[in-house]
Amino acid sequence: MSKIRYTQEHEWLLEDDGLVTVGITGFAQAQLGDLVYIQLPEIAKAIAKGQEAAIIESVKAASEIKMPVTGVIIEVNTILNDEPGKVNEDPMGAGWFFKLKMNDPGELDSFMDESAYAAFVKDMD
């Protein structure tokens, strides 16, 4: 069974059978504006929670994507190398950044579900 979780940094995590797909939310991409560059992590790289996993640059700002959980990168969305705008077009789908194998699936329990994230973002307006 898959479940989606959200971080306070506006990342989404879709867990499916121990693997997690990570991207940024529609709210985040709207705040950043048009993305012009994305540096994705290396496949097979182990990254600890809180460490830099990716770098994104938009017309407005540059930002880091911090690793939301500890794990090993197993796949990256190479389409974003040539088409970073995919994130703006479909942040919760085709604009995903990377997939990882988590060390501890229990780490997902600390993140918000969809209704909690919606309330979190509403308070920012």
Q: Which has the closest alpha carbon to 111: 33, 21, 6?
A: 6
Q: Given the structure tokens 């308070």, which residue do they identify?
A: 123
pLDDT at site 48: 97
Cα 36 from Cα 59, distance rounded (Å): 7
Q: Which has the closest alpha carbon to 70: 121, 110, 116?
A: 110
**DSSP letter assigned to residue 112:** B
pLDDT at site 78: 97
Q: Residues 1-60: pLDDT tens digits?
A: 458 999 999 999 999 988 999 999 999 999 999 999 999 999 999 999 999 999 999 998
- Could you tell me the pTM of the whole model? 0.94
Where are the domains positioned within the chain? 2-105+113-122
> What CATH number should be reported for the domain whose range is 2-105+113-122?
2.40.50.100
